[in-house]
A and B are shown apart, each in its own frame.
Chain A
Amino acid sequence: MKKIVFLTASLFMTIALSSQAQPKIGSPAPNFSVKDANGKVHQLADYKGKVVVLEWYNKDCPYVRKHYDSKNMQTLQAAAKNDGAIWLAVVSSAPGKQGHEAPAATLATMTKEGSKAAAVLLDESGAMGKAYQAKTTPHMYVISKEGTLVYDGAIDSNTSSNPKTIKGATNYVTEALAALKKGEAIKTSQTKPYGCSVKY
């Protein structure tokens, strides 16, 4: 009898979890299975034991430009890589939409940007973006070694598109990564993302 109750309860839990549209801080991050620009398939499960950073990217978005032209994003990526984190840039632009590029062109762009991301995932169908409810570029997520979503939101506290505002703003991703490294609680775990809409 107890077993049935338990099964029913866990069944309802599963239903509740799967119908939970919004990825939740403190819950397992949604899994994904997406090819990168080199044709390699990446899954979240591949990176168990490593901190994962997701960055929604669109090369033509002025807010993305704010962080790339100022080299802010590249610096962040390099620092994360040094600490052993896996940084994945995600392009959810549908074919024909702004920011969409063929794999070869994407690789060229990345070289030009000086990107230090481990890979650029080409989420043409938008499935991954929708699973994470990515709204803007750049929309940032940090996933802990255990696969738990620990940060969801803006890259920093200044929503301007002006690169001059980067200095003086609080970078939430840096904060989250530092806290994970020290094993402390993350001060700001959810913010409203800013930037251009993701071009699904």
Chain B
Amino acid sequence: MTKQTGLFFSLLFVSLLGWSGEPSEFIFPQGKVTLLVGNSSIVLHTTTIPEWHTYWKNSGDSGAAPLLQLENANFQILKRLWSFPKRISVEGITNYGYENESLILLETDLKNSQRPEGSLNLEILVCKVECIPYITTLKVPQNNQQALIDQLLEKHPLPLESSNSFQLDLIQETSTDKQFRLRSQNTRFLDFDEIQIFPLDGNIFTTSQPEISLDDRDLVFSIKTTGLKNSQEISDSFLFGFFKDQRLVTSVELSSFTKAKEVPSYIFILLFAFIGGIILNLMPCVFPVLSLKALSLMKQKESTQKSHLEGWAYTAGVCLSFLSLGITLIGLRLAGEEVGWGFQMQNPWTVAGLAVLFFWITMNLFGFFEIDFALQVNSKNKSQFQNSFWSGVLATLVATPCTAPFMGTALGASLTLSPMLSLGVFFAIGFGMALPFLLIGYYPKSISFLPRPGAWMETFKNFLAFPMLLTILWLLWVLSLQAGSPAVLSVLGIFIFIAAVIWTKRLISKEKVGKAILVIGFCFSLISLYWLPRSSPSETQASMIWKSFDPQQIEKDLSENRSVFIDFTAAWCLTCQVNKKTVLRTSEIEDYFQRNQISLYVADWTDKNPIITQELAKYGRNSLPLYVFLENQQKDPILLPELLTKEMILKLKQSTEEK
């Protein structure tokens, strides 16, 4: 009799002494398994003698995970958690499993006071090179051994089931490989010197070592696939273990958030961008500037070379502005800044600057001064082209807080493109926005329904000062949220200064001097913004039922099976404000949310906020507005269109029920 079998019999004897009927422990020549009961969980503790191993839930090239099944139990298994495995390579075949000790923790619905009853059918495969399967039944013990379980868990920590510190994305897929990016949500990865990656699904992924590359925040790895398809529509999941000095520091199981959803082809992205650009003309931000443009167009009676050139000048102004916005945006992103569409409006100086600029335009529209200034309506022929160009620039500048339908998809998709290609997207938006005016240049008859030019135009021009003033009001509101009331007061002070400059100019009869005063005054009004006071912005007031964005809380809500609605918004996003007033914050909709117990979150992007930028990226977006509905953990997030209607919201719960 060998030493091993001797040990086996003596252990068997000991275990038989302690138990009658089915024991909670099973001893075999290569080791033993013990069932322990804790407060609300059951733990299967496996020990094997040297050279023998058991398997993880994905066993790798061969072998099999232990199979567990409850019988006659007065409780249910909610979740299975496995301790961190290791790669075991035997003769060219790689397995994922355990040498020495391992734990499988079964989370149950046992209450603290409840006495567990039942037994566990266990089939466990133990291998060296050769394998021996054991099939047995273990009785669920009666005595609570939480203290012992705690000790074991300390030695063999279980991986976290999810983590907000990381995000996993599928970035590329070929017929033989899948490439993923693990991004640390903190600025850097935690300190580690080794990382181990285990795919949860052995049907899809081979056991070959993943190729890993790492920089500050991103870990990119590619892993060979078997060529088998996912049997179900599940996302790819991996177990990550971070080691330092050969000790497991932390381990976490993550599923890739972005599924291998088909990215629309480049032509479609451009088409979306183009359509979005056309619709942008109808969005509230652009209206005042466009009405000015429309006014200047009314004077054209026929299609002349001049009107063509003007149309092209305007188009050039819009497109070049979009391109420079695009270059800035891409540049900032390459430099590691978390920015998105409308980023310039997150800067209070831009907002204040626009307010000052608009005030000058207002004064001009009222006819308080006449000068060849960016948006002069009655200017001389010579500068007409320049005017057209600059009105294009201005239209772009004020359009940026708006996202038209289709544009969100295009801008989001442009994130994944190379810089050159994504500039194409910006160009397409610009061209779409400019196109209607370009066409009017060629076909002035299309606006022949407008009345003939005459004295009424001067009155209409004066009237247009009011939408301008309303825009200023809105800009000041945005500014008040960004930089507080001192900033708003300073801008109002600058307005008084502008009025004073214009008043002085009118006193002076010499035209040249008057012009000089205006130019100096204009420059100074903008330069003075440099000293714009900034107090820390007051927190945006979340209403009772709208909580501010909190990824952890959302995770918790979902795990408790509550649905979640996230409103990505910003004060400077006019489309967002419209949706908020007409749909989201109406009593009908808020009632609906409460009735259906949907947790509501506001992610406010008024100021720069990398967390929200990343969250947007998770949904393939980098622009506002975005509305996300998360029914529960299993279902895919639903992204609502940029322009909401009440019906869309009221359908949310239904549509997910039908699915």
Contacts and interface: CB of A to CB of B under 8 A. Distances in A.
Interface of A: 22, 24-25, 60-63, 97-98, 135-136, 159-162, 190-200
B64 A197 contact: no
B125 interface: yes
A97 B131 CA distance: 13
A184 B609 CA distance: 58
B584 to A, nearest CB: 48
A98 B123 contact: no
Nearest to A22: B227
B226 A192 contact: yes
Contacts of B62: 135-136, 193-198
Contacts of B130: 60-61, 98, 196, 199
Interface string B131-152: 1110100000000000000000
A193 to B, nearest CB: 8
Given A195-B62, A197-B61, A198-B93, A190 B228 contact: yes
B133 A62 contact: yes
Nearest to B207: A135
B129 interface: yes
Nearest to B227: A190
Contact of A162 (B93, B123, B132): B123
A197 B63 contact: yes
A62 B92 CA distance: 20
B202 interface: yes
A191 B202 CA distance: 10
Contacts of A98: 129-130
A97 B64 contact: no
B606 to A, nearest CB: 51
B133 to A, nearest CB: 4
A97 B104 CA distance: 32
A199 B91 CA distance: 7
A162 B227 CA distance: 29
Interface residues of B, number: 24
Interface of B: 61-64, 67, 90-93, 95, 123, 125, 127, 129-133, 135, 202-203, 226-228
Contact of A197 (B129, B135, B228): B129
B227 A197 contact: no
A192 B127 CA distance: 19
Nearest to A130: B92
Given A190-B228, A191-B203, 19 more contacts: A24-B227, A62-B125, A62-B131, A62-B132, A63-B133, A135-B62, A136-B62, A159-B64, A160-B67, A161-B64, A161-B125, A161-B133, A190-B227, A192-B226, A197-B62, A197-B63, A197-B127, A199-B91, A199-B130
B129 A192 contact: no
B524 to A, nearest CB: 70
Contacts of A62: 125, 131-133
A192 B202 contact: yes
A162 B135 CA distance: 8
A160 B134 CA distance: 11
Contacts of A161: 64, 123, 125, 133, 135
B64 A160 contact: yes
Nearest to A161: B133
B206 to A, nearest CB: 9
B132 A192 contact: no
Top 7 A-B pairs, shortest CB-CB distance = A161-B133, A197-B62, A197-B93, A98-B130, A136-B62, A196-B131, A62-B133
Given A192-B202, A192-B203, A135 B133 contact: no
A31 B132 CA distance: 33
A194 B133 CA distance: 13
Contacts of A196: 62-63, 127, 130-131
A23 to B, nearest CB: 11
B389 to A, nearest CB: 52
B90 A197 contact: yes
13 contacts: A24-B227, A25-B227, A98-B129, A98-B130, A135-B62, A136-B61, A136-B62, A160-B64, A160-B123, A192-B226, A194-B62, A198-B62, A199-B91
A190 B228 CA distance: 7
Nearest to B204: A192
A194 B131 CA distance: 12
A200 B64 contact: no
Contacts of A193: 62
Contacts of A192: 202-203, 226, 228
Nearest to A159: B64
Contacts of B133: 62-63, 161-162
B129 A97 contact: yes
Contact of A61 (B123, B131, B227): B131
A200 B123 contact: no
Contacts of B226: 190, 192
B257 to A, nearest CB: 25
A193 B207 CA distance: 13
Contacts of B228: 190-192
Contacts of A191: 203, 228
Contacts of B95: 197
A69 to B, nearest CB: 13
Nearest to A137: B62
A197 B95 CA distance: 9
A193 B60 CA distance: 10
B15 to A, nearest CB: 23
A199 B129 contact: yes
A190 B231 CA distance: 12
Contacts of A199: 91, 129-130
A68 B130 CA distance: 18
Contact of B91 (A25, A136, A162, A197): A197
Contacts of B90: 197
A191 to B, nearest CB: 7
Contacts of A97: 129
